[in-house]
Amino acid sequence: MLDTEKVTQELFAYIDASPTAFHAAAEAASRLEAAGYEKLEKETGARIVPGGRYYMTRNDSSLIAFRVPEGELQRFRIAAAHSDSPSFKIKETPELEVEGHYVRLNTEGYGGMIQSTWLDRPLSVAGRVIVETENGPRTRLVNLDRDLCVIPNVAIHFNREINKGYAYNPQVDLLPLFSGMIDEKENRNGQKNAGPEEGEGQERGAEKASTLAGLCARELGIEEEKILASDLFLYNREKGRRMGAKGEFIGSPRLDDLQCAFGALKGFLLADGASEDRTEGGRKRTDEGASKDAGCCAVYALFDNEEIGSGTKQGADSTFLSDVLDCVCDALQIAGAKKRDILSESFLLSADNAHGVHPNHPEKSDPTNRPYLNGGIVLKFQGSQKYTTDAWSAAQVRRLCRQAGIPCQNFANRADIAGGSTLGNISSAHVSIPAADIGLAQLAMHSAFETAGALDTGYLIELCREYYA
């Protein structure tokens, strides 16, 4: 088995490098390129050859990687996760002045977060900006990597009933404090502000007077006027950590769904002899051994916008996956009945975290399908097919878990509690292949800080390695 501490720290590093969906896709691309994968700038099969390793991106926030078998293509093996998490998107012209003393940022909710968990935490801003260059508009990722903002609660003295329940107004209660409007030379009482040396004080004063666009420009080393547009989000600055009496739990922002995004990617690379991790647990994994793929084209998909329904050009409800599979088939001159045969032999693992039994509210879970943290892979079922698992696809996953020696458990919603949806049924509506929805059990899903099991990331990696290999 994989070393739990090593896997956990690598997961935390991936999450820390991925404050937004744009960064999550870029971090995945970086790891793929380190393992020898080539980026294809256009969705075309012109450069795809047998034995090649490639990836494509869409909108800078979704990514699909694949490796083409040396021999005849017989099937696709696809694992999909999503890059986005609930957050607050920053609006255009974001600064809001308050009584000449404060500046807030104007935001709106992205996805269905637990709103109260975002208050009184260190926050910052990250995303992408489009900048003017000599060669036209270009995308630059930005992360203002410091404790920049906070959404302050109202003191209990001003709202004595808050612990009895409070409905937060997102335009009033949930706007982050960005800066204080102070004169660096002289404060409101006419007193000189104590501070550092002249040069350093001037730099800090310039920062305090800056707009958000100005801070982004300074971070990128460009003039503010060069920024044409942006997609910026708040993110929780807290770091991932081990928790529990025996370190059996992990806590981190964005576990849904970066835990699965990381685990599936790690398994995808470990199953490939081109990965930088050719030795795990003392076993040598060679290029020659990994290339005996029995006609399988391994595919790793990372979609954006799952938290808002996937209905975008870069979401699971787009043509991105089918376009990439078409590119592979076109390059290998596969069409018609042969292509349909290949799809009929293919499979999709949709990996998105699942609700574990809550220690304070075990009654919220189904009476018999009750996944627990550190209990292994969670197979997700729903009669309405919002989770796409059926008997056939569940059997395939359970068989893989047995082969890999990892535990497997089940999730279903209580019949009187409506559940959510995820990638599986949406993707398989565009690429009609057998599919199963799986995940890892967690608590406080859609909180700014979520809890999961320390062992479960390793279980997903092992499952995906077995699946792809």
Q: Mean pLDDT for the chain?
A: 90
Assess whether pLDDT exceeds 50 at residue 287: no
Assess whether pLDDT exceeds 90 at residue 464: yes
Taking only the tens place, the pLDDT of each residue in 180-204 is 876 554 444 445 444 444 444 444 4
Taking only the tens place, the pLDDT of each residue in 221-252 is 999 999 999 999 999 999 999 999 999 999 99
Give first-to-last CA distance, the chain, whole Å. Answer: 16
Taking only the tens place, the pLDDT of each residue in 405-425 is 999 999 999 999 887 778 888
Q: Residue 256 to residues 24, 259, 298: CA-CA distances in angstroms?
A: 12, 6, 23
- The DSSP-derived string for 31-97 is HHHHTTPEEPSSS-STT--TT-EEEEEETTTEEEEEE--SS---EEEEEEEE---SEEEEEEEEEEE
Taking only the tens place, the pLDDT of each residue in 9-28 is 999 999 999 999 999 999 99
Percent of the chain's residues with pLDDT above 70: 89
Taking only the tens place, the pLDDT of each residue in 421-455 is 788 889 988 899 999 999 999 999 999 999 999 99
pLDDT score for 42: 78
E-assigned strand segments in 353-427: 354-355, 377-380, 408-411
Euclidean distance between CA atoms 270 and 268, whole angstroms: 6
Tokens 């059926």 correspond to 390
